[in-house]
Amino acid sequence: MFSVTVRDHIMIAHSLEGEAFGPAQRLHGATYVIDATFRRAELAADGIVVDIGRAADALRTVASELSYRNLDEEPSLAGMNTTTEVLARLIADRLAERAQAGGLGEGGRSLDGLVVTLHESHIASASFERAL
């Protein structure tokens, strides 16, 4: 399996529901480094997995939809507990939509899958992997 990874980041505010989250139940800020890894079993005819520039642009667009926002106030996230895992899936799904719509070029339509990893800190991260 071949892969290409691009990186960006988001800075958000949110609160988490549930006693398991202790003080994170209160409104707090978080900065996540995002790695988006695009995968395919065979390289495209041009010898690449996906156009890195288009992949980086797509991730930047998705990240900008979330960054510098209080996620508790975002209508599209209403009722969602925006844990790191949930955000990884949300970003993966939004990238998948762009890939399938041709936003990563024609090669993006032939990707086999992608993995989004959100790094909460230098010691903790969460990922979501999905097929395309």
Quick one: pLDDT band at residue 106, thresholds 50, 70, 90? confident
Report strand pairing: 28-40 vs 113-119: antiparallel
Q: List, in order of start, the domains of the chain with CATH numbers.
A: 2-131 (3.30.479.10)
pTM of the model: 0.95
Across the chain, mean pLDDT equals 96
Residue 90: the pLDDT is 97
Are 30 and 120 in contact, with CB atoms under 8 Å apart? yes
| Cα–Cα distance, 51 to 53 (Å, whole number) | 6
Residue 30: the pLDDT is 96
Q: Tell me the average pLDDT across 86-94.
A: 97
